[in-house]
Copies of this chain bind each other. A is one copy, B any other.
Amino acid sequence: MTNAVAPLPTTATPAPAWPRGFRSSGVAAGIKKPGLNDLALLVTDAPASAAAVFTRNLIAAAPIGVSRAHLGTASRRIRALMINSGCANAATGPEGARRATASCAALAHALDIASDEVLVNSTGVIGVHLPIERIERAIPDLVRELADGSCERFARAIMTTDTRPKWATRVVRWTDGAQERTCTVTGVAKGAGMIHPDMATMICAITTDAAVSPTDLDKMLRHAVDRSFHRISVDGDTSTNDSVFALASGAAGAAPEVPLTQAITEVAHELALMVVRDGEGFERGIDVTVTGAATPSDALTVAKTVAMSLLVRTAVTGGDPNWGRILAAAGRAGVAFDPKVICVRAGGAPLFERGAPAATSRDVVRAAFTASTVEIEIDLAMGSGSDRFHSCGLTSRYVELNADYTT
């Protein structure tokens, strides 16, 4: 199992196909402005293993409660995942729960499946009621347009302030006796705001045609999420609706556990990086790697504190080599280290070595701070704990986008 960062494609890749056993669609239901796709559906040809990781926010949205309940039923076999954008159905009280349940019932009726075989989620403004009648009206079209192949329509219908759809795919190959076999892992995600660990994703659906039990799928998903969505932050706010769903159709038969877990983790990591690099107002990425910490948890704490510091994030936006802010953020992380022995590098160039500024030329430092992603490395010289965290520069555009979100 790897924790390595898959290199990101520099140009958009064509939308991959869903694995065998899945069909999807996306339509404009009128929840967002007229004509914008805002309702997405993914169905499986037969009951699929399902698992999910949900937001830890106490103010969890109504559909989270409904999906949790449906996953809690004995079988954990699911036939459909429906996601709307344009309205979060969060902080909507008992009426919100009623509407989330009604949307499952309407879809179940149209697909001729049981209500508790449907997972739902919503994304958009908090505190506004779900326009359930528009969803009910759109469901016949949504079902009629179901098709296998490309995940593009689904990926586009779940977007909010994302500037582009997000997808990733991996093929796992193994031999079964003399026979060469494969399964596919395909994931889609939406991100853009309220991006932070526990949960970090916004909404993500990862699918595979491997045959996996719900319990094993849950274990693989948690492994993947911990190494991907829990290592990124755009604004430090955890959404009320964050979820990563995993569905396994079984159409490709049983796959070996280690490479399948790795493929799921790589898809999750690639999507997580896409989410942070399409964060609201994104201009420049920040990757913070901490090594030499007393424990891996200390390394994560320091990496996260530096990556999320507003002063580090604004300096990165300006391409301003004000590296003292990196030190100041590390120093307030609440992790013990000796300032006299630590080293800090940016883009490979030494900034601070054993308690004093390094002799690196200002031009070299400036080049490191104007890269498309500023790579910060901090060696605490205490032990062997290491970790990595991803964020992005804080921009005026982020502030403008968020100062006027509902109006």
Contact = CB atoms under 8 A, between A and B. Distances in A.
A194 B311 contact: yes
Given A91-B352, A323-B127, A395 B399 contact: yes
Contact of A322 (B125, B325, B395): B125
A56 interface: yes
Contact of A399 (B57, B60, B314): B314
A399 B402 contact: no
A20 B331 CA distance: 39
A380 to B, nearest CB: 10
Nearest to A331: B59
Contacts of A398: 314, 399
A394 to B, nearest CB: 6
Interface string A212-243: 00000000000000000000000111111000
Contact of A58 (B56, B321, B337): B337
Contacts of A310: 235-237, 394, 402
Contacts of A322: 125-126, 405-406
A399 B318 CA distance: 9
Nearest to A353: B93
Copies per assembly: 2
A356 interface: yes
Nearest to A235: B310
A320 interface: yes
Contacts of A320: 403-407
Contacts of A328: 57, 59, 90-91, 126, 194, 237-240
A372 interface: no
B125 A314 contact: no
A354 B93 CA distance: 8
B90 A403 contact: no
Range for the number of chain A residues in contact with chain B:
35 or more
Interface string A175-199: 0000000000000000001101010
Contacts of A336: 58
Contacts of A402: 310-311, 314-315, 318
* Residue in A56, A58, A398 with the greatest tally of chain B CB atoms within 10 Å: A58
A325 B126 contact: yes
A145 to B, nearest CB: 31
Contact of A403 (B57, B59, B315, B355): B315
A88 interface: yes
Interface string A58-93: 111000000000000000000000000000101111
Contacts of A90: 324, 327-328
A126 B324 contact: yes
6 contacts: A125-B322, A127-B323, A237-B310, A240-B327, A310-B394, A321-B406
List of 6 A-B pairs having minimum Cβ-Cβ separation, nearest first: A126-B324, A318-B403, A93-B356, A59-B331, A314-B402, A396-B396
Given A240-B331, A315-B402, A322-B406, 10 more contacts: A91-B352, A93-B354, A126-B327, A194-B311, A196-B332, A237-B309, A238-B328, A320-B405, A395-B399, A396-B396
